[in-house]
Amino acid sequence: MEGKQWVVIRCRACNNCHGSSGNYKRCPHCGNAIGEIAEIVSTVNSDAELRIEVAIANTPVELRDALRGKLKSTDTLVKNQDPQAFTMAKWVQQSADNNGEITLQSLSTLIASKNSDITAEDLISMAETQGMLLRIDENRWTLLE
């Protein structure tokens, strides 16, 4: 991937932009041959950036800033996803009994065995927020997935 570049190309026939790694022949929007007459709008270094730049290039100028902000923040969210969150989701699943039900005690026991200092309450509220768990009783949750 290193050194690889992607370009955002504007088709002069239909004025739509699309992304390309360089081997472009035809506009995916109108089918016209692109070749030499294409206008290169920008050059980026990753396909993630490319998706953003293409979306932005196809958006009216007055809406671009808002869109750019939105796209970048989603992108950051995905990249920054806590690897711990995955582990914790696994713990929640592991502490469920055969009926897919979890209690504070079952989760606490599991957390203790992992030497983690997170509390069962915190883990449960995290799992609830993510839509993994549904409270079915005062001290009982059921797995939703």
127's enclosing H/E stretch is: helix 120-129
Q: Does 11 bind Zn ion (CB under 5 A)?
A: yes
Question: What minimum distance in Å lies between the beta carbon of 68 and Zn ion?
Answer: 23
Residues 4 and 40: their CA atoms lie apart, in Å, by 16
Q: Closest by alpha carbon to 96, among 129, 130, 144, 138?
A: 144
**DSSP state, residue 95:** T
Number of residues binding to Zn ion, judged by CB under 5 A: 6
Instruction: Considering only the stretches 10-18, 68-76, 86-94, 95-103, report the one whose residues sit in contact with Zn ion under the rule CB under 5 A.
Output: 10-18
- 42 vs 130, which CB is nearer to Zn ion? 42
Q: Which of 14, 33, 112, 134 forms a contact with Zn ion (CB under 5 A)?
A: 14
Q: Residue 80: phi, psi to the nearest 5?
A: -90, 10
In the window 26-45, what residues touch Zn ion (CB under 5 A)?
A: 27, 29-30
Residues 78 and 87: their CA atoms lie apart, in Å, by 16
The amino acid occupying position 34 is I
Helix (H, G, I), strand (E, B) or coil at 44: strand
Instruction: Considering only the stretches 8-16, 55-63, 89-97, 106-114, report the one whose residues sit in contact with Zn ion under the rule CB under 5 A.
Output: 8-16
Measured in residues, the chain has a length of 145
- 11 vs 92, which CB is nearer to Zn ion? 11
In the window 39-98, what residues touch Zn ion (CB under 5 A)?
A: none
Instruction: Considering only the stretches 25-33, 37-45, 89-97, 102-110, report the one whose residues sit in contact with Zn ion under the rule CB under 5 A.
Output: 25-33
Interface residue list for Zn ion (CB under 5 A): 11, 13-14, 27, 29-30
